Amino acid sequence: MQFSSIPGKTSAPPATPSASDEFSAALTNWLAEARSAISHDPRTADRYWDRFEELLLRNGALERRYDEIELPSCGLAPWQRARITSYVDANLAKRLSTAELAALVRLSTSHLRRAFKASMGCSPHEYVIQCRIERAKTLMIETGISLAQIAFECGLADQAHLCRLFRRQVGISPSAWRRARQLRRVEAPEDAATVKKHNEAGWLCLSPAN
């Protein structure tokens, strides 16, 4: 069969779109629709981004974890950020999942990861861990309860779990950190008194003679 109108010559049949061409066309279509939906319908735009990531995963184009990729995100709205932070602070003693936090602010888990990273500089999971460690520090300073009890109060499995996370975040064990803080609190009044005494002495020396 000839596909050319030039006598005596034939041309190749029209090229069949390859799988990569179809994939590129699908991505272009999804991105265009997502872009048009962002301004007036964020939830629909969020579904488009989920579909976009699904296409990437299906075609082997996405190999890194969510917290290692950079996809467009406008971050959390102020009310979403406030709701998540207050909820985490009030529920540190229990297990907190990314899906639970996402439902709290009416986002999908993938959208929350992107928006949270854009607003807070870390993933939701990392933020919860940081809050647990800060709560543990407060309890170690203000109470005399055991590390095992502190781990329970902070929503961690056991003392060993607390020690692993604390050392990873702070660089030393919680018991060493607690001893250092207790020692500092004992020495602080003496240091303050010494500084005050030296300052007063210096002021007297610098005061003009009558």
Where is pLDDT greater, at 158 or 49?
Answer: 158
How far is it, in rounded angstroms, from Cα 59 to Cα 144?
55
Q: What is the pLDDT of residues 63-96, one digit of tens each?
A: 444 444 444 457 999 999 999 999 999 999 999 9
Where is pLDDT greater, at 53 or 145?
Answer: 145
**Token reading at 84:** 């998540």
pLDDT for residue 74: 76
Residue 142, Cβ neighbours under 10 Å: how many?
A: 8
Where is pLDDT greater, at 11 or 67?
Answer: 11
Of 50, 62, 127, the residue nearest 96 (C-alpha): 127
How far is it, in rounded angstroms, from Cα 192 to Cα 2?
97
- The CATH architecture annotation of domain 78-172 reads Orthogonal Bundle (1.10)
Least confident of 46-50, 54-58, 200-204: 200-204
